[in-house]
Amino acid sequence: MASSTNSATADDQTEPPSIGIKRVETAQDSKAQRLLRVDQIYSRTAKATVKPDRFGKTALVCSPEILFHAKDALTSRKADEKEKDDPNQTLINDIGTALRFINEDFGAQIQSLESLLNNGEITFDLLWALMKPKDYVVSIQFRLTGQSQALSVVSGTYHKRQNSTNYFKLNGRMISHDGEDFSYGFIDTEIDEFDGARKITSLKAYLIQYDPNSDTLRKNLIQRGRKYLSLIRALPQAFCQEYTMDFGLEDHETSNGRIQAQKANLRGRVMADPEAWKFNNGWTDLAAPIILGEYSITGKDLDLRDDQLLVCANWNNGFSLTHKSWGQFSIDGLKDIVWNEDAFQKLVVDETRRKLIHALVRAHRQDDASFDDIIENKGKGLVGLLSGSPGVGKTLTAEAVAEVTSRPLYQVSTGELGIDADKVDKRLGMILEITRRWGCVLLIDEADEFLATRGNDLARDTLVSIFLRRLEYFRGVLILTTNRKSEIDPAFQSRIHFCEIL
């Protein structure tokens, strides 16, 4: 390739040009010179504002695409400057030179683009011209939640895969929260090569302004951002929410120790708690964006602008009480719970006893000293026992207790906890702590194995001792069910605050 330097002369000036552009052409004698890159831009105006790098040099080098994307802004800036009482003629000339350069080298593309955009269409080779940095796009499919994600365009580049197929990679920026801080995350969207013109809104990612209901879409995205922000600001308090959409669910651990994620359809209650998710979730392939530390935004008490709310994450991390698994939940699928305050009225329980249980659970708080022990942090939990044969309503009673006190219910059976002492201790400790954090009513169903009188069975006695020790330091609300009340170890009896035989 040959190169030459074309310097545009400033309007009505005899002094040397204020902008010089170095062109690199496909052929030295070509009449239709095509700019491949801008090697240098000399501008007194720019040099006065650009800071030198660590080597003391000012690099005024950019791609021609950057100037193309700045065309509208440059035109507006030039017009504004001309309207001033004392316009900066040097700046006006600089901008004029840049605009002539853009029109000379991109005239054909500008004409084609205007024709396509009038019909809401675009061709593959002009995607770069459509997707300008800082424009807002909506990516129509997010891997696990299936929801759209708004992004601020960072860059768009063409690539070829190993199978020789071409694609356009759009890199966009969004805002998410990792449980501690807000951060800018970056997500790539690949648009495969296509023939001819295509509707802009049919692309995997398209500019919001081309949506037929763009104002409504923008309003809904900002409103979703506000909802996301409200959930984050509430931390460390977590919200129990009703959820009715697909979510990213942890599935199983792969050979390299990574947790595989799958897409699941969920109907049930979830705890929106990214802080707890971060410390309990481990290393998973849930679709978190690539976070660059240097772009982190510290704190969670930030007043985000509308343009920042627009690109907030469409998901929140938390725990499914139905699936008993950590996952990612769509913000659009989270709804406030309507608690059933009449749930107690349907129970076959003496009214006096019913009122007592209701009062005990409602009054209990983790900092309540009414159930305190001499040793700090011991005995602050509220423990209830429901006994009776299968089918008499023990589980239903626990569910009613949670409903009338507006508390989430975390239900687990002894079978889920297992029989290995170390694993039981670890899992039970995690469950007790997380339910205390969330203010749950914890229901351990069929707890006979953990409550049985200790004797000569070493394995079972170990489980009973583990359970008793964990129970001593538990500070939440726990309801146990059993079919064999008469076989309970005496050590538990002093820890039970209410007992109901159904």
pLDDT, one tens digit per residue, over 433-454 is: 899 889 899 999 988 888 877 8
Residue 349 and residue 486 in one domain: yes
Quick one: which of 349, 325, 337 has its CA closest to 241? Answer: 337
pLDDT of residue 207: 97
Q: Which domain holds residue 189?
A: 125-213
Sheet bearing 477-482, strands edge to edge: 409-413, 441-445, 477-482, 382-387, 498-501
Residue 260 and residue 171 in one domain: no
Contact 460, 426 (CB under 8 A): no
pLDDT of residue 36: 44
Residue 363 and residue 496 in one domain: yes
Residue 207 and residue 76 in one domain: no
322 CB burial (10 A radius; 0-12, 13-18, 19+): middle
pLDDT of residue 248: 58
421 CB burial (10 A radius; 0-12, 13-18, 19+): middle
SS3 480: strand
Is the confidence at residue 356, as pLDDT, over 90?
no
pLDDT of residue 262: 58
**Separation of alpha carbons 22 and 36, rounded Å:** 10
CA angle 14, 17, 19 (to 5 degrees): 160
More confident residue, 177 or 44: 177
Place of tokens 């990214």: 274
Residue where a domain stops, chosen among 76, 93, 118: 118
* pLDDT confidence band for 198 (50 / 70 / 90): very high
* pLDDT confidence band for 363 (50 / 70 / 90): confident
296 domain residue, yes or no: no
Residue 141 and residue 167 in one domain: yes
208 domain residue, yes or no: yes
Residue 249 and residue 270 in one domain: yes
Residue 428 and residue 369 in one domain: yes
297 domain residue, yes or no: no
Contacts of 395 (CB under 8 A, 6+ apart): 411, 443, 445, 481
295 domain residue, yes or no: no
Residue 329 and residue 347 in one domain: no
- Per-residue tokens: 494: 């002093």
Contact 151, 174 (CB under 8 A): yes
Task: Provide the Cα torsion 475, 481, 487, 489; round to 10°.
Answer: -10
70 domain residue, yes or no: yes
pLDDT of residue 482: 87
461 domain residue, yes or no: yes
Is the confidence at residue 392, as pLDDT, over 50?
yes
Residue-wise pLDDT for 47-76, tens only, equals 444 455 545 554 445 567 888 888 888 899
More confident residue, 245 or 299: 245
298 domain residue, yes or no: no
46 domain residue, yes or no: yes
pLDDT of residue 13: 40
Which domain CATH number covers 392? 3.40.50.300
Mean pLDDT of 383-390: 85
Residue where a domain stops, chosen among 92, 118, 144: 118
pLDDT of residue 249: 57
What integer best gives the mean pLDDT of the chain? 78
Cis peptide before 274 (omega within 30 of 0): no
Maximum separation of any 2 CA atoms in the chain, in Å: 107
- Judged by average pLDDT, the poorest of 14-28, 121-135, 454-468 is 14-28
Residue where a domain stops, chosen among 195, 213, 231: 213
pLDDT of residue 375: 41
* pLDDT confidence band for 292 (50 / 70 / 90): very low
Q: What is the pTM of this model?
A: 0.74
Domains of the chain: total = 4
* pLDDT confidence band for 158 (50 / 70 / 90): very high
Mean pLDDT of 3-23: 41
Residue 354 and residue 475 in one domain: yes
**Separation of alpha carbons 110 and 102, rounded Å:** 9
Residue 348 and residue 430 in one domain: yes
* pLDDT confidence band for 195 (50 / 70 / 90): very high
**Separation of alpha carbons 293 and 178, rounded Å:** 12
Q: What percent of the chain lies above the pLDDT cut of 90?
A: 27
More confident residue, 335 or 253: 335
Residue 18 and residue 144 in one domain: no
**Separation of alpha carbons 410 and 168, rounded Å:** 46
pLDDT of residue 379: 56
Residue 257 and residue 143 in one domain: no
User: Letter for the amino acid at 286?
Assistant: L
pLDDT of residue 143: 58
Which secondary-structure segment (H or E) carries 124?
A: none
